[in-house]
Amino acid sequence: MTRLSVNINKVALLRNSRGSNLPNLIKVARDCESFGAEGITVHPRPDERHVRYADIAPLRSICTTEFNIEGYPNEKFLNLVLANPPVQCTLVPDDPDQLTSDHGWDTITHESFLSSTISRLQAAGIRVSIFMDPVDRLIEGAKRVGADRIEFYTGPYAEQYKENREQACAPYIAAAHLANGLGLGINAGHDLNLENLSYFKNNIPRLLEVSIGHALISDALYFGLKNTIQMYLRQLQ
């Protein structure tokens, strides 16, 4: 089965909007796991508008499933990750003021930077995934820089899904076959939801993990968090 990692950034955003501890991020993370989530994902950004740097240590201490920290690997981020080693670190090529992740790494242009960064994290026993578009030469580059996994940026798939889901998924299927042949694990995330998740999962060979936050937390407003997590898990069966 493909694992479901719940991104709790939007829960932190709601908490931060009132300057209090409601909702309690630690409790939500615990509850997500008890409701069936197989991982917790966080993406601390430089402006800390979502998950804060100070949240990482307490979250890591209570997480009993797979803890995944996403982010752009500047020195501050790397020091945070190395001080609180997760199971997985997902490297994302975000600009400091970027609203949300919207493209994958150019593994050719940034080959040297990624190679040294990945080696540094792996030396601490951390599995490294890098955010990727479904482009063959860049996925081949992901292998060269030493990544353990790639995480497909699925925004374009989600955007095109209603118009032509077969066409939307085709580049990811081809890229997945290449990644599998290279020995790279495959994760996916961004704009996956209850409508488009099952089709993606059923067509991507050896999809190991999806990370879902915005859509899942939005659905939870209507269906409740426990029920929503179960609904997403059913899409992955």
Partners of 3 in the β-ladder: 209
Amino acid type, 2: T
| Structural domain boundaries, residue 81 | 3-235
Which residue is catalytic, options 33, 38, 66, 190?
A: 190
Which residue's entry shows tokens 């199971």? 87
Phi, psi at 174, each rounded to 5°: -60, -40
Q: With 80 as the cut, is the pLDDT of residue 101 above it? A: no
Q: Is 43 a known active-site residue?
A: yes
Residue 96 pLDDT: 61
Q: Which of 33, 43, 50, 151 is catalytic?
A: 43
pTM: 0.95
Catalytic residue among 33, 38, 66, 70: 70
Q: Tell me: pLDDT of 169 over 60.
A: yes
Confidence grade of residue 54 (pLDDT, cut at 50, 70, 90): very high
Q: Distance between CA atoms of 187 and 189, rounded to whole angstroms?
A: 7
**Residues 8, 32: contact at Cβ < 8 Å?**
yes
> Would you state the pLDDT for residue 89?
98
CA 103 → CA 66, 73, 146, 151, 153, distances in Å? 24, 15, 20, 11, 7
Supply 80's token pair. 């945070």
CB count, 10 Å around CB of 34? Answer: 11
Q: How many CB atoms lie within 10 A of CB 144?
A: 13
Active-site residue, 38 included: no
- pLDDT of residue 100 exceeding 90, the answer is no
| pLDDT tens digits for range 105-154 | 999 999 999 999 999 999 999 999 999 999 999 999 999 999 999 999 99
Q: Tell me what the pLDDT averaged over the chain comes to.
A: 96
| Number of domains the chain contains | 1
Judge whether residue 102 has pLDDT over 70: no
Average pLDDT of span 77-96: 93
Number of Cβ within a 10 Å radius of residue 79: 11
Element (H, E) at 62: helix 53-62
Mean pLDDT of 20-38: 97
- The residues, ordered by sequence, that sit 6+ positions from 81 with a Cβ below 8 Å of its Cβ are 69, 71, 89, 121, 126
> For the domain that residue 49 is a member of, what is the CATH number?
3.20.20.70
Closest-CA residue to 200 (of 221, 215, 183): 215
- Catalytic site residue 70? yes
